[in-house]
Amino acid sequence: MERRQLEYFLAVVRSGGFTNASRRLRIAQPSLSQAIRALERDLGTTLFHRLGRGVGLTAAGEALVRPAQQVLRDFATARASVESVVELAGGRLDIVALTTLAVDPLADLIGRFREKHPLVDVRVADPEHDDAVTRMVRTGECEIGLAESPVDLEGLDHLRLPGQHFFAVLPPGSGQDGAEAVSVEELARFPLISTPEGTAMRTLVDRALTIDGRSPRIAIETTHRAAIVPLVLAGAGAALLPRRLAVDAAGQGAVVLPTTPLLVRSAVMVWRCEQRSPAAVRFVELCGRVPDGPEPAAK
């Protein structure tokens, strides 16, 4: 079994077929098919059900996915360890973070990291909930994860980051101009815009704005997070957003107010206890020096 065969195998899994995988890998499809057949002969079993123009994993193929991801991660760590001799002059750091945490605080953390290590590429994956974050770190898909309140931390180290403040983002002309803050009870009476149930943002909205057992009214539910601020500006409803997104919305004309009481969401960074790449080590060290001071209000 060769590393390249495992790379090809995972590419077919992610792409859902040999044609798309060959394009992604930039190799001829016959070469890809031959490599997969050689891997299957070596393992003594088939890995894929050939389904016309697509493929499906056999039970053996499903069993191989996680070990293959870990093997490739270990290869990447070994390569990065050598590159660390020349102060991280290359390599890649894979991070998985909830969308709102990717905006803040991850964006600033990556900026600081890239200032010190500009030759290290960073890839950020976007899951829907905390369980997906810890799963992707535990399986080796990503080295670093940012979650809100991960429950299962077995086999993982973690660092609690400064809390993330959320703000009420209201349409222009909502009658709140000049106000210094808005109560959560008052915000809960607005028609709200949020992501679907099961997402981290929706969980926060439901938890923070459920008053006396009454759930808030989600007037617009969208998977397109980038559409939330335009919908607010169009007068379709109000939203609850982290500081950075709220500041951007205020610059476009939305009314942005802190809530009473303040809504602060925790943020936890997780990583595997085993050997990490030099890039991951440096990133964790950098995050450990993040000051945990008060966060200025959006304006």
Please report whether residue 209 resides in a domain: yes
Please report whether residue 294 resides in a domain: no
The SS3 assignment for 260 reads strand
> Pick from 13, 48, 71: which residue ends a domain?
71
Q: How confident is the model at residue 200 (pLDDT cuts 50, 70, 90)?
A: confident
The SS3 assignment for 257 reads strand
- At position 280, the amino acid (one-letter code) is A
Taking each helix axis from N to C terminus, what angle separates 18-25 and 29-43, rounded to the nearest 10 degrees? Answer: 110
Question: Which residues does residue 259 pair with via DSSP β-bridges, in sequence order?
Answer: 182
Please report whether residue 299 resides in a domain: no
- Residue 137 backbone phi and psi in degrees, to 5: -75, -45
Shared domain for 276 and 130, answered yes or no, is yes
Is 93:277 a contact under the CB 8 Å cutoff? Answer: yes
pLDDT over 70 (residue 131):
yes
d(CA 228, CA 195): 9
- Residue 88 backbone phi and psi in degrees, to 5: 55, 50
At 167 the pLDDT is 95
Token pair of 141 as six digits? 């898909």
CA distance from start to end of the chain:
58
At 299 the pLDDT is 46
Neighbours of 152 (CB within 10 A): 11
Helix locations, the chain, DSSP H: 3-15, 18-25, 29-43, 59-83, 99-101, 107-116, 130-138, 184-188, 200-209, 228-233, 243-251, 278-287
Is 121:92 a contact under the CB 8 Å cutoff? Answer: yes
Mean pLDDT computed over 239-246: 91
How many domains does the chain fold into?
A: 3
The SS3 assignment for 129 reads coil
Tell me: the pLDDT tens digits for 57-101? 999 999 999 999 988 888 888 877 776 645 677 778 999 998 888
Range of the domain at 55: 3-71
Tell me: the pLDDT tens digits for 151-178? 788 889 999 988 888 999 999 988 776 7
Going by their DSSP bridges, the two strands 255-272 and 144-147 should be labelled as antiparallel
Shared domain for 98 and 109, answered yes or no, is yes
Please report whether residue 61 resides in a domain: yes
Please report whether residue 293 resides in a domain: no
Shared domain for 182 and 271, answered yes or no, is no
Please report whether residue 135 resides in a domain: yes
